[in-house]
Structure 1
Amino acid sequence: MFRNYIKIAIRNLKKNPVFMMINILGLSVGMAASILIFMFVQHEVSYDKYHENSDRIYRVSRSFFNQNGEVNLHLGHLAPPFGPLLKSDFNEELEEVVRVLNTNVILKDDANIFEERRFYFSDPEVFKVFSWEVVDGNPEEALNFPDGMVISQSMAKKYFGNAEPIGRSLEMKIGSATANMQVRAVMKDIPDNSHFKADFLASMELVTEFYGGYEAMMKNFGSNNFGTYILLAEGVTSQSISDQIPSFLNRHVNVGDDGSAPSNWTSLQLWPITDIHLHSNLDSELEPNSSIEYVYIYTAIAIFILLIACINFMNLATARSAKRAMEVGLRKVMGADRQLLIRQFMSETIILTFLALLIAVVLARLTLPVFGDFTGKDLSMNLLDHPEYILGMLVLVIVVGMLAGSYPSLFLSGFQPVKVLKGTYKIGSIHEKFRSALVIGQFAISIILIVAVLVVVNQLDYMKNKELGFEKDQVIVLPAHAELVENYETLQDRYMQHPGIEALTLASRVPSGRLLDAQGTKAEVNGDLTTMDIRLSDIHVSHSFMETFGIEMATGRDFNYQLASDSTEAFLLNQSAVRAIGWSSDEEAIGKSLHYGIRRGYVVGVVKDFHFESLHQPISPMVFMIPNDRFNEVAFKLNAENFDEAIAYLRQEWTALRPDFPFNYYTVADRFEQQYEAEERVGTVFGFFAGLAILISVLGLFGLSAYATEQRTKEIGVRKVMGASIGSIVMLLGKDFLKLVLFGFILAVPIAWYGMSSWLDGFAYSISVSWLVFIMAGLIAAIIAALTVSSQSIRAAMINPVDAFKVE
């Protein structure tokens, strides 16, 4: 029986090659797009699931509260004592606890110097928690040696080529500190679907020495830089640990300045490791994560495109129903019941869908590199590595085949044999309206995707071009170092002699970074020194910070080189800080007493608000002060005309001052743009798949319009004989389809507005969804539809009336 269905499907394919190929091509493009998206989604949801005990591994995060209980900071890192304390206090509940500390280091071999960003210090238990495969050496013993280091295979190849890496040494530099590290084990490269990826793991003993020894390290609850992971014992739940966290904090952490219990102003949270990539976007992360929202968005796009492809199939199959009416009538007369006919037509559809899948796989393979660049993922269609893809494709064929063939099967099997054989069978108005509804839905989806593309592009343009309140162009940033800080004034005078350098400054953080540093605040309000229930982010700067970044003063004065007290007592605030403290105006803040951490001083100036962080975050209250240390970065404002010469000069100076350190800088403008890479990818993906959706819709509309003009060929001939112009005939044939586009537009507007408004809510600063976007999307869809329909209408309108009357 099934063999007979295949023969009938092939026969129909030969009989109606154009319409069949339109159907197959539409399904192929839709399925190819869906395969790519589902590969991406599968990769996203697979993060960290490869660990043997992934269901028992949790990362511990730390949050801080205002006095009203509101979270003002949530970090994915902990202070160094928490790991050992968790292990000792929950010895029976926790199988293992491990800490990792990421830092940039300089590694030097006999011939090369490299800056490595995936360098981690780690506790030896790291391989008991994470399932990273070691190919040479003993990793647990390696990290028990002070100079022990485990490196990935790619790094072993990079530094040692084909030579044996075990026992080889690399010189490591961190700031002014130097150590010789010995390779004691080699591991496979950490899989791409990991929320952090280490190329080097070094002994934590060096970090302990940096903190001044184990005892000093165990007293430091303010340096929240350690990624801390726990492996629960069998049968232990995360909730049972979470319930004990408040008492754990109260036992070990010092009380607040006001005598409050630690659990009142800080807390620890447990995150399943498999949730981190899609559900954790905290104020600090080991690496940038994605978001479950984008998984939902991409999945919705895949479903939309499949629906458009299936709608095409339904419409073309039912539109050409008259061609198979006689076949259905004869089969029913010969004894075929409706169930048999439904099985036949469904089988034919699944056969065609399988052919479409074969084409789709080829299309997906060809476009996979481009799609990988769009998403930033290294995706593979290797079915040996991903046998689940085969099952997924089979499910896709069945689902698409059943969906695309459902309505045509029910429709075709419902023909009445008596009317068909008499030639009096007519397609009912209900079916015509249903087909029109499908076209409306098809164009509604296309318009929604076009609106999404336009909104994302406009939001990106807004973020990239919004006035940030400071000058980010031609500002480059280098890591500060002891030689520079100790000789800063001398070097500043020397650097300023170059015509390409306009200004330079030292800072703990520069704009485009995150504001993660804060201390307790007391401010003079209404004559009293009052403890503030706010988070005031601090930035340690040198005197020329505001000048270098072109930050304007709102009132008061900038830091002054001539006033020694500015280095010990003076504070600058931004306008948001003034409002947060409760002063009625910027002017009122000047001269007011301010206690920040251990510094006692007064406000000398207020700067205008500017965007230190990306537009995802609101402008935070900030305080600026001149410290004795904590300078992490040096920023140079360069002259645009002499930019390249200035870079060459600084490279030469850097090499002379620090010959063992590479000259690696970044620009503030570029780092701001990098913060919007996720939105950039979304816009690109939206554009790509919106184009595919329109292509599939055009294919379907082309087939429908071709069939409609074919059915009205004699009518067109009569109208031409009666004097109708080509233009009037084109308008006659096209207006019905344009009406459907209009109805699709009306349906799409509220859906698109709601969806994109919800997406924009994720930004602290965003555009509003303008009505012009909808008009533009509607016009794009209407123009594409008009061009598609008119191409068939013009061809039909130009036919010779004599030939038109000969058409059967």
Structure 2
Amino acid sequence: MFRNYLIIAIRSIFRQKGFSLINILGLAIGLACALLILLWVQDELSFDKFHEHADRLYRVEEDQYYSGEVYHVTVTPYPSGPVWKDEIPEIEDACRYQWPSGMLFTYGETAFYEGGGVAVDSTFFDLFTYEFLLGNKSTALTEPYSAVLTEETAEKYFGDENPVGKSLTVNNQYEFTVTAVLKSIPKNSINQFDILVPYDYLKEIGQYNDHWGSNSIRTYIKLYENAVIDSVDSKLTAVVKEHNEETTTDFMAAPFTRIHLHQYFGYGHDPGAIVFVYIFSAIALFVLLIACINFMNLSTARSATRAREIGLRKVSGASRRAVIIQFFGESVLLAFISLIFALIIASSILEVFNKVSGKELDFSNLLHPRFIISMILVTLIAGLISGIYPALYLSAFRPIKVLKGDLSTGMKSGWFRKVLVVVQFTLSVFLIIGTVIIYRQLNYMKSKDLGYDRENMFYFQMRGEIKDNYQAIKEEFLRNPQVLSVSAANHQPHRIGSNSGGGDWDGKDPDQSVLIGTNIVDYDYIETLKIQLKDGRSFSKDFPADFAVDASANFMINEVLEKIMGKENAVGERFRFWSLEGRIIGVMKDFHYHSVRMKIEPVVFILGYTEWLSWIVIRIAPGDLTKTMGALEKTWNEIMPGYPFDYNFVDESIDQMYRTEERLGNLLKYFTILAIIIACLGLFGLASFTAEQRTQEIGIRKVMGARVSTVMLLLSREFTWLVVISCLIAIPAALIVMKKVFLQNFEYRTDVAWWIFLGASLAALLIAILTVSYQAARAALSNPADALRYE
């Protein structure tokens, strides 16, 4: 019996090759898209779950309160980790995690600045699970000058040699002994590093502060099993208040495995990548729905041509049950053939998908039991649902009526298929609108005016002896006619830190506390960045009082701080910050000194000594970049032999901040295009079916004098109206979802222009018309004599 059903199903597929190909291809593309998106989502959800005690790991974070607002940050006081472990019984282990600045590693002639060098407590491997290739985790970080390398870093310095026991020189001063080598750090981890060194190294280089009010490091804790997290949160805060009675900060433990998706991008509550997990999960569902609707629609349309076959089978004695099984069997068979093609498509384009998404997924992920079971269930459901309508409907026909051509109960009217087409194109138009808005928002973030000129400007960190030679570097670089200006600051242009600082001014409410971004700068910094002034002037050597000396300094502030002060023009106002007091000499127009995800906060600039500065910023003339940088590197090597000329361009660093969003935007674009293609495949198939069903009618109309354009309009009009209805449903739905769900996550938002909705609707209409036109033209241009011989 099963063999008989299978043979009938295969014959039916080959008898209608065109319909079968469109049906299989549409569902296969939809399943392949869903597979890839689910792989991406699974990877996002898997971050840091590979650690043995992942469910007991937490990062300590804090809420700071300024001017009635809450600022969530992910740093803690320097001494906190070991004290929390000793005084809070629920904490089994604690580990501090900090990036030391200025780490130049040298081995023989090989020298690199390691931005991935991290100082950690010796308890690091008691919390986190990493695979050791060489060395012992219990002793890896116990010695003062020990270093743990990843396998990539070990190969970079030592090649094929065994690095354990060998020494690396740091900053041409400290000798670190390699004690262990780790297997590559998994990409699905928020903690990416190249070298680990003991935490005490921070004290050695003067980057450690014993004050409990200095919050600059990350602290991780591992709790005992069954620890009550609310109790831990309150104790974290209580311990800090014991050591710093003036603090108003609240501390809390954030689950480590949730950080990647729910982390905060600085000050302010940003939901992190979880927004995109929701978006892509919805897209996977939409694409799969469109593909399944497509599959169901074509299956029901195709089954209508087999009504007489079913009538003959029932006259010959076939039961209704047998007919139902046959239709379900054929639909499920087509669906599983689609699944096979979907796996082939997904595995074929996985490499391209990885490049676009920035992931390192492989085909083995597709063979995960969870995925296999999920895809089998989805495919089975798609097959069964697509078979329900024709199976139950056709099997209920009375054979005599069917053989006489009486299908008046609804099959020819196709209302069910029309509803499915409306649903399909509603989802498609929704995706088009959503993709355009998301893409515009991401482009808006990348191209928004920052308030300074980010082009033709590069920077590098002043490390060790570099700082001692800053003035010489500045003077020699300025001799190059392509160098327009050189300055320095203690922060990168796009990453200025914040400090409560005790900012004070005449008329300030004593209870008001303002979080102020602080940047110590050299002369010409404002001019180098091309920051515009609202009022006043920049720092100048003509005014010695500008320089921060002892307890005296003049200040430059931005417009946000001026508004908080309640001044229309703050120039000349007395201002106090840290232990410095002076006057405000200039008000800068607001500029973004963090990601544009965050709103612009108050900032103050102070003119300070070279030892306070950390980053050199150079503006060069546009032109032959390679030649200019080559000349500057030559100059650099003459001044600083033995130190690599390691620099970054400001515009590239800023673009890097939005690389994740850029990748996700591209993925969104491609999947939306595929969803539209799937919908068009279905529309093409339905148009073909409609033209075939109305062949005799078309022949009669042409004999009666109907023009080709009239016939084409007749066949296209039905589908055009369906798309119009889809647009009317999709537009308000997309507007509400994008405004209320997506755009509200951004401090600065693109406008939702009317032309987006009009353009999406016109695009959908045009695509539908072009898709249907081929079949309509083919039917309209056919020979009437052939048409009248139909049936």
- TM-score (normalizing by structure 2): 0.94
Do the aligned residues in 2 keep the contact of 1:2 with 1:347 (CA within 8 Å)? no
Shift of 1:510: 3.4
CA deviations on 1:396-453 (whole Å, 9 max, x unpaired) are: 3223333433434333333333422343232417962221111111111111121123
Residue of 559, 567, 575 corresponding to 2:559: 575
Shift of 1:686: 1.8
> In the aligned structure 1, how far is the partner of 2:40 from the partner of 2:768?
31
Partner-residue secondary structure (3-state), 1:689: helix
Partner-residue secondary structure (3-state), 1:230: strand
CA deviations on 1:30-57 (whole Å, 9 max, x unpaired) are: 0000000000111111111111111111
Aligned match of 2:97: 100
Shift of 1:301: 0.6
Aligned match of 2:49: 49
Aligned match of 1:795: 778
Aligned match of 2:490: 508
In the alignment, structure 1 residue 593 sits paired with structure 2 residue 574:
yes
Aligned match of 1:618: 599
Within 5 Å, which residues of 2 pair with 1:210-359? 210-211=205-206, 217=209, 219-253=210-244, 255-256=245-246, 262=247, 265-283=248-266, 291-332=273-314, 338=320, 341-359=323-341
Partner-residue secondary structure (3-state), 2:663: helix
Aligned match of 1:478: 460
Shift of 1:362: 0.8
Residue of 407, 411, 414 corresponding to 2:389: 407
Residue of 108, 116, 130 corresponding to 1:118: 116
> In the aligned structure 1, how far is the partner of 2:435 from the partner of 2:12?
39
How many percent identity over aligned positions?
36
Do the aligned residues in 2 keep the contact of 1:523 with 1:530 (CA within 8 Å)? no
Within 5 Å, which residues of 2 pair with 1:652-671? 652-671=634-653
Do the aligned residues in 1 keep the contact of 2:461 with 2:614 (CA within 8 Å)? yes
Aligned match of 1:538: 518
CA deviations on 1:67-122 (whole Å, 9 max, x unpaired) are: 53x213x22222221101111101x3221111222246322222322222222122
In the alignment, structure 1 residue 777 sits paired with structure 2 residue 760:
yes
Do the aligned residues in 1 keep the contact of 2:81 with 2:94 (CA within 8 Å)? yes
> In the aligned structure 1, how far is the partner of 2:697 from the partner of 2:108?
86
> In the aligned structure 2, how far is the partner of 1:463 from the partner of 1:364?
32
Aligned match of 2:439: 457
CA deviations on 1:538-571 (whole Å, 9 max, x unpaired) are: 1111121111111122112211112222112101
Do the aligned residues in 1 keep the contact of 2:75 with 2:215 (CA within 8 Å)? yes
Q: CA 1:375 to 1:796, structure 2 compared with 1: closer, same or farther past 3 Å?
A: same
Aligned match of 1:171: 169
Shift of 1:221: 2.6
Residue of 533, 541, 545 corresponding to 1:553: 533
CA deviations on 1:611-637 (whole Å, 9 max, x unpaired) are: 222321111111111123331211111
Aligned match of 1:259: none
Shift of 1:481: 3.6
Q: CA 1:515 to 1:17, structure 2 compared with 1: closer, same or farther past 3 Å?
A: same
Do the aligned residues in 2 keep the contact of 1:30 with 1:696 (CA within 8 Å)? yes
Do the aligned residues in 1 keep the contact of 2:23 with 2:295 (CA within 8 Å)? yes
Deviates more, 1:59-68 or 1:233-242: 59-68
Shift of 1:328: 3.4
Residue of 738, 741, 749 corresponding to 2:720: 738
Shift of 1:653: 2.4
Partner-residue secondary structure (3-state), 1:195: coil
> In the aligned structure 1, how far is the partner of 2:168 from the partner of 2:85?
32
Shift of 1:490: 4.7
CA deviations on 1:209-229 (whole Å, 9 max, x unpaired) are: 3348xxx75x23344332211
Q: CA 1:660 to 1:343, structure 2 compared with 1: closer, same or farther past 3 Å?
A: farther
In the alignment, structure 1 residue 142 sits paired with structure 2 residue 140:
yes
> In the aligned structure 1, how far is the partner of 2:168 from the partner of 2:767?
62
Residue of 584, 588, 602 corresponding to 1:607: 588
> In the aligned structure 2, how far is the partner of 1:593 from the partner of 1:402?
77
Aligned match of 2:370: 388
In the alignment, structure 1 residue 192 sits paired with structure 2 residue 187:
yes
Q: CA 1:2 to 1:294, structure 2 compared with 1: closer, same or farther past 3 Å?
A: farther
CA deviations on 1:641-696 (whole Å, 9 max, x unpaired) are: 35444322321222223323322222222222222223322321121011111111
Partner-residue secondary structure (3-state), 1:281: coil
> In the aligned structure 1, how far is the partner of 2:627 from the partner of 2:152?
36
CA deviations on 1:513-556 (whole Å, 9 max, x unpaired) are: 2543441211112xx78464221211111121111111122112
Letter in 2 for 1:306: L
> RMSD across aligned C-alpha pairs, in angstroms?
2.4
> In the aligned structure 2, how far is the partner of 1:86 from the partner of 1:765?
38
Do the aligned residues in 2 keep the contact of 1:532 with 1:581 (CA within 8 Å)? no
Do the aligned residues in 1 keep the contact of 2:496 with 2:519 (CA within 8 Å)? no
Aligned match of 1:437: 419
> In the aligned structure 1, how far is the partner of 2:319 from the partner of 2:282?
38
Shift of 1:383: 5.3
Partner-residue secondary structure (3-state), 1:196: coil
Do the aligned residues in 1 keep the contact of 2:266 with 2:598 (CA within 8 Å)? no
In the alignment, structure 1 residue 29 sits paired with structure 2 residue 29:
yes
In the alignment, structure 1 residue 673 sits paired with structure 2 residue 648:
no
Shift of 1:134: 1.4
Instruction: List gaps (5 residues or longer) in structure 1.
Output: 257-261
Aligned match of 2:201: 206
Shift of 1:128: 1.4
Q: CA 1:224 to 1:530, structure 2 compared with 1: closer, same or farther past 3 Å?
A: closer
Letter in 1 for 2:520: H
Q: CA 1:488 to 1:109, structure 2 compared with 1: closer, same or farther past 3 Å?
A: closer
> In the aligned structure 2, how far is the partner of 1:581 from the partner of 1:141?
54
> In the aligned structure 1, how far is the partner of 2:447 from the partner of 2:237?
45
Deviates more, 1:18-27 or 1:327-336: 327-336
Partner-residue secondary structure (3-state), 1:227: strand
Do the aligned residues in 2 keep the contact of 1:137 with 1:186 (CA within 8 Å)? yes
Partner-residue secondary structure (3-state), 2:190: coil
Do the aligned residues in 1 keep the contact of 2:556 with 2:606 (CA within 8 Å)? yes
Aligned match of 1:763: 746
Do the aligned residues in 2 keep the contact of 1:521 with 1:532 (CA within 8 Å)? no
Do the aligned residues in 2 keep the contact of 1:571 with 1:604 (CA within 8 Å)? yes
Deviates more, 1:94-103 or 1:265-274: 94-103
> In the aligned structure 2, how far is the partner of 1:195 from the partner of 1:454?
30
CA deviations on 1:7-29 (whole Å, 9 max, x unpaired) are: 22212111111101111111000
Aligned match of 1:370: 352
Q: CA 1:55 to 1:36, structure 2 compared with 1: closer, same or farther past 3 Å?
A: same
Q: CA 1:112 to 1:399, structure 2 compared with 1: closer, same or farther past 3 Å?
A: farther
- TM-score (normalizing by structure 1): 0.92
Partner-residue secondary structure (3-state), 1:656: helix
Aligned residue pairs total 783
Letter in 2 for 1:439: V
Partner-residue secondary structure (3-state), 2:306: helix
> In the aligned structure 1, how far is the partner of 2:324 from the partner of 2:104?
70
> In the aligned structure 1, how far is the partner of 2:212 from the partner of 2:639?
35
> In the aligned structure 2, how far is the partner of 1:486 from the partner of 1:566?
23
> In the aligned structure 2, how far is the partner of 1:117 from the partner of 1:484?
17
Aligned match of 1:79: 77
Do the aligned residues in 2 keep the contact of 1:456 with 1:679 (CA within 8 Å)? no
